[in-house]
Amino acid sequence: MGCCPRCGKGHLFDGFLALKPRCDRCSLDFSFADSADGPAFFVMFIAGFIVAGSALAVEIAYAPPYWVHAVLWGPLILVTTLLPLRPIKGLFIGLQYQHKAEEGRFTGGNAP
Site residues for Zn ion per CB under 5 A: 4, 6-7, 10, 23, 25-26, 28
8 Cβ contact list (under 8 Å, min separation 6): none
Tell me the closest approach of the beta carbon of residue 110 to Zn ion, in angstroms.
35
- Specify the residue, 15 or 109, whose C-beta has the smaller distance to Zn ion: 15
- Specify the residue, 47 or 92, whose C-beta has the smaller distance to Zn ion: 92
Tell me the closest approach of the beta carbon of residue 84 to Zn ion, in angstroms.
23
Tell me the closest approach of the beta carbon of residue 33 to Zn ion, in angstroms.
12
Tell me the closest approach of the beta carbon of residue 93 to Zn ion, in angstroms.
12
Rounded Cα gap, residues 36 and 51, in angstroms: 24
Strand partners, 29: 22
- Specify the residue, 7 or 17, whose C-beta has the smaller distance to Zn ion: 7
Asked if residues 12 and 2 have their Cβ atoms less than 8 Å apart, the reply is: yes
- Specify the residue, 20 or 69, whose C-beta has the smaller distance to Zn ion: 20
Closest to 47 measured CA to CA, from 80, 73, 7: 80
Rounded Cα gap, residues 102 and 93, in angstroms: 11
